[in-house]
């Protein structure tokens, strides 16, 4: 299978492992182009017999993915084109009612026959961190990674799957803290809270994840499928209706002030200034 035409992603396949590097400067924003590219990848790789495991990482040392596209909040006119690009990325595959592109990507990623792994070194916030929660497993580099859901401070919902996934990974108490408090979690805290599988030394994570991925790539696909099937019977994943509720609630909390505040964030350097993005928490408190 050839993936060279997919923008924003650098993809190599070797020994059953696809390495997918997000490469969409300046911050791997989860914008319309990135979501369409990821969806295009998902719908191609699902039929690729050469791929058993998919590892996602970032070309940017500091940012895995800064967050979703702020322009979706300031410029509603940008939405139809993004939705069309998302639809075109998987012709003939419909998205359930009330489910937005991030949620749809979540649902489609978890249907993949392959095993998906996130390797996090750098920052993942908002839609970028929600994307990580869609994957089967996640590992983060100690001293390098940071994860946060800043949406509540932006007066919106983490409505791209995060509000569905976080109580499942962290339990109600910690998920509510993360979603409402907006704190940046380092790797160790993310491990203790269950947001990642494990925090790993920064100089070991590459080897660890590569080793794990190649080991899993040797497992028979029938065994992987059997495990996932029993898991679903034992602890069912959230069904589509929960994503639809999240999608509707996400739209429901939208008010014009959200757009005005997003404008102020953009004016302050969000989505353009590296220093501002590094400490988004401070920026949001100051605004």
Q: Is 282 in the site for a second copy (CB under 8 A)?
A: no
Q: Is 286 in the site for a second copy (CB under 8 A)?
A: no
- Which residues, 6 or more positions from 111, have their beta carbon under 8 angstroms from its beta carbon? 46
Distance CA 31, CA 58 (A): 15
- Which residues, numbered 144-163, are part of the site for a second copy (CB under 8 A)? 151-153, 155-158, 163
Phi/psi at 126 (5° precision) = 55, -130
Span near a second copy by CB under 8 A; candidates 14-22, 80-88, 101-109, 214-222: 214-222
**Shortest spacing between CB 224 and a second copy, in angstroms:** 7
CB 38 within 8 Å of CB 21? no
Q: Is 130 in the site for a second copy (CB under 8 A)?
A: no
Q: Is 115 in the site for a second copy (CB under 8 A)?
A: yes
Instruction: Kindly state the number of chain residues that form the binding site for a second copy, as judged by CB under 8 A.
Output: 64
**Shortest spacing between CB 91 and a second copy, in angstroms:** 30
Q: Is 216 in the site for a second copy (CB under 8 A)?
A: yes
Sheet order of strands, 63-65 included: 63-65, 123-125, 146-148
Q: Is 220 in the site for a second copy (CB under 8 A)?
A: yes
**Shortest spacing between CB 7 and a second copy, in angstroms:** 29
Span near a second copy by CB under 8 A; candidates 39-47, 70-78, 183-191, 271-279: 183-191
Candidates 76, 81, 176, 267; binder of a second copy (CB under 8 A) is 176
Cβ proximity to a second copy, 141 vs 179, nearer residue: 179
Q: Is 137 in the site for a second copy (CB under 8 A)?
A: yes
Candidates 83, 112, 202, 242; binder of a second copy (CB under 8 A) is 242
**Shortest spacing between CB 16 and a second copy, in angstroms:** 13
Instruction: Return residues touching a second copy (CB under 8 A).
Output: 115, 136-138, 151-153, 155-158, 163-165, 167-169, 171-177, 179-183, 189, 191-192, 194, 197-198, 212, 215-216, 218-220, 222-224, 226-231, 233-235, 237-238, 241-242, 245-246, 249-250, 252-253, 285
């Amino acid at each position: 299978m050839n993936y060279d035409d997919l923008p924003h992603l650098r993809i190599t396949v070797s020994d059953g492992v696809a390495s997918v590097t997000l490469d969409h400067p300046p911050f791997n924003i989860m914008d319309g182009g990135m979501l369409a590219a990821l969806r295009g990848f998902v719908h191609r790789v699902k039929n690729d017999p050469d791929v058993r495991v998919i590892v996602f990482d970032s070309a940017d040392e500091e940012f895995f993915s800064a967050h979703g596209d702020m322009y979706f909040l300031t410029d509603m006119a940008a939405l139809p084109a993004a939705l069309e690009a998302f639809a075109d990325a998987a012709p003939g595959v419909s998205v359930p009612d009330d489910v937005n592109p991030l949620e749809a990507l979540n649902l489609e990623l978890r249907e993949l026959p392959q095993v998906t792994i996130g390797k996090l070194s750098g920052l993942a916030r908002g839609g970028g961190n929600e994307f990580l929660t869609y994957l089967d497993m996640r590992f983060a580099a100690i001293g390098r990674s940071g994860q946060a859901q800043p949406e509540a401070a932006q007066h919106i919902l983490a409505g791209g799957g995060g509000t569905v996934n976080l109580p499942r990974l962290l339990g109600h108490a910690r998920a509510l803290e993360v979603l409402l408090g907006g704190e940046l979690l380092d790797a160790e805290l993310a491990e203790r809270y269950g947001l990642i599988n494990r925090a790993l030394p920064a100089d070991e994570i590459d080897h660890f994840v590569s080793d794990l991925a190649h080991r899993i790539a040797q497992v028979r696909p029938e065994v992987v499928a059997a495990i996932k099937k029993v898991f679903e019977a034992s602890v069912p994943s959230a069904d589509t209706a929960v994503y639809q509720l999240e999608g509707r609630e996400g739209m429901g909390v939208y008010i014009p002030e959200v757009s005005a505040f997003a404008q102020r964030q953009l004016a302050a350097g969000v989505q353009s200034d590296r220093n501002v993005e590094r400490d988004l928490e401070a920026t949001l408190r100051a605004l």
